[in-house]
Amino acid sequence: MATAQTKAGHLRARRVPLIVREPAVAITIILIASALAVFVVYPLYMVLRTSLTTDGRLSLAIFRGLFSKSYNRRPLANSLKLGLVVSTVGTAAGFIFAYSTTRVDVPLRGFFRLVATFPMISPPLIMSLAAILLFGNNGLITRQILRGAVDFKIYGFRGLALVETLAYFPTAYLVLSGVLQAIDPSIEDAALDLGASWWQMFRTVTLPLAVPGLAGALLLIFIESLADFGNPIILAGNYTVLATQAYLRITGLYDLSGGAALAVILLIPSLIAFFLQKYWVGRKSYVTVTGKPSAATTRRDEPWLRWGAFALCLALTGMILLLYGTVFIGSFVTLWGANYKLTLANYNHVFRVGWHHIRDTIFLSTVSTPITGILGMIIAFLVVRKQFPGRRALELASMLTFAIPGTVVGIGYILAFNQPPLVLTGTAAIIIILFVFRNMPTGIQSGIAALQQIDPSIEEASCDLGADSAATFGKITLPLIAPAFFSGLVYSFVKCVTAISAIVFVVSARWKLITVAVMGSVENSDLAQAAAFCVVIIAIILAAIGIINLLVYPPWKARASRRAATAGTEGGPGAIPPSAVGGQ
């Protein structure tokens, strides 16, 4: 009876307008929607308006002028070709890696998983820098080992395909490892019991069940390749792509209309891939779920499969370690390609001349990271737990910056906030705002996934006891989704420190970032100094991850819990229960 009355009360409450029932929530929704309109939708509108306006009138003249010249059509074809190759090879590499570490009994499985995360916590352009150090005109392998006998042609399509594949295959690995772990191993065991060979089982059972993950990984890497700016600006050579061409058109020719038009051309395939991934592939699932408990995953241990998978994983991780090791060693070299004497002069330069870049990067990233995390959790809470008009539109607008390439975002910000009514260019605010709205989508998705696993009745009980939505969110919901919140913080900080594509448009003489210093050093052929900057970036990221993990999982609390557990099991009737340790 009480339960029925409670449900009836909730139904009556839902009929009351949100602004009356929960004015604080309604105001929060209005403020967030306004911020998304100003800092996400408005810059995109300015890009579209600038590209479609000629002499104050709507016109396609700018696009006709661009497409009338072959050197403007070429970047589109090059970008699509590069994206297709990188997404195909990267997804294949990610699937091999995921299958080997989840389905095959390969040695050093934990080591392979660790190395696969390296590209995700470092700036993408570190791969291009390492490729130049090894295979460039004065590279270690090209000049010192092979004495110029082989030209690797690292500048151009080959080099870009190599470094982008190594930089983005971890995305496919993470997606596909989750998909493979969700497949019930008893289905594969049943196929083998019926007489199928490993290849028949893999081709007819495992691979079809992994199709949604494969398609999703393919589209995600395609989006990342299209949006990549750091690698092409360093390694493209004469192989022009849309992201760098739009940047050079604005900074070199100061052609805002032409740059905006190229940004729109870059935006179209990115949005198509994003919506396909989110609303088509994302809703497909071929994983079977039974009501019976299934056995743990049986790892294949056939020698040919085990050692073949091990060889492939070893080759891939070996290449990654070679590139990162080259950058680390290169940071101690006097002059790469000419004088390999070890020195600390590069780090002296980084901390003396580049200290301004390091300080500004740490400050801006530290300010924007908690804002990004908290705002992402609030939006996730509103989208999952609240019913209000425009809820889906709010979710879409908050996720939009994930699909928009950084070059488009950067151009949109300089068009939108370089003139009244809101002039932000040259300030720290524009960088912080860009960081927040650029990195927020991943935190939102993590929060949504975490909230969907929490029974709403817990929060309803809090409201029934008199708490409002703000108190319930702060005292009940946020502690329950703390892991998703802190993972969002880590992601946001990493992306802030390694950002380059959008940020390069809004940095100023007052506020400088370390990734821009890396790009400048490479352009000046100071490769050893660029390597030292990259090592410092990785050190900052690792230190931040360590601090955040220390705050989330403090070792002193773990020790106290273990002591309490021991006392609770061995101390007899008067022992303190573990739940009582640390207060309430």
pLDDT at 180: 84
User: Which of the residue ranges 128-132, 224-228, 281-285, 303-307 would you say has the lowest mean pLDDT?
Assistant: 281-285
531 vs 13: CA distance, rounded Å: 60
- Which of 265, 164, 267, 263 has its CA nearest to residue 221? 164
| Residue 56 binned pLDDT confidence (cut-offs 50, 70, 90) | confident
266 vs 249: CA distance, rounded Å: 14
**Mean pLDDT of the 440-464 span:** 81
Tell me the range of 8-17, 77-86, 206-215, 571-580 where mean pLDDT is highest.
77-86
User: Which of the residue ranges 192-206, 351-365, 370-384 would you say has the lowest mean pLDDT?
Assistant: 192-206
Task: Using the predicted structure, report yes or no on whether residue 124 has a pLDDT greater than 60.
Answer: yes
49 vs 415: CA distance, rounded Å: 10
Task: Using the predicted structure, report yes or no on whether residue 112 has a pLDDT greater than 60.
Answer: yes
- Tokens encoding 261: 């038009």
- Which of 94, 85, 77 has its CA nearest to residue 216? 94
Task: Using the predicted structure, report yes or no on whether residue 251 has a pLDDT greater than 70.
Answer: yes
546 vs 249: CA distance, rounded Å: 41
CA angle 494, 520, 415 (to 5 degrees): 75
532 vs 333: CA distance, rounded Å: 10
3-state SS, residue 338: coil
Proportion of the chain above pLDDT 90, given as a percent: 40
3-state SS, residue 63: helix
**Mean pLDDT of the 573-584 span:** 36
Task: Using the predicted structure, report yes or no on whether residue 114 has a pLDDT greater than 80.
Answer: yes
**Mean pLDDT of the 401-417 span:** 91
Domains and CATH numbers, the chain: 69-252+299-330 (1.10.3720.10), 343-567 (1.10.3720.10)
| Residue ranges in 337-405 assigned as alpha helix (H) | 345-352, 355-385, 391-403
Task: Using the predicted structure, report yes or no on whether residue 135 has a pLDDT greater than 80.
Answer: yes
Element (H, E) at 342: strand 339-342
| Residue 319 binned pLDDT confidence (cut-offs 50, 70, 90) | very high
Contact 171, 217 (CB under 8 A): yes
- Which of 13, 195, 164, 201 has its CA nearest to residue 90? 164
Contact 463, 385 (CB under 8 A): no
pLDDT at 193: 82
- Tokens encoding 479: 């502690």
pLDDT at 289: 46
Query: Which segments within 381-473 are labelled E, that is strand?
Result: 418-419, 422-423
DSSP-derived letter for residue 118 is G
112 vs 100: CA distance, rounded Å: 10
Identity at 562, one-letter amino acid code: R
Tell me the range of 45-59, 314-328, 564-578 where mean pLDDT is highest.
314-328
**Mean pLDDT of the 207-236 span:** 88
| Residue 281 binned pLDDT confidence (cut-offs 50, 70, 90) | low
pLDDT at 198: 80
pLDDT tens-digit map of 522-534: 888 899 999 999 9
Task: Using the predicted structure, report yes or no on whether residue 223 has a pLDDT greater than 60.
Answer: yes
pLDDT at 578: 35
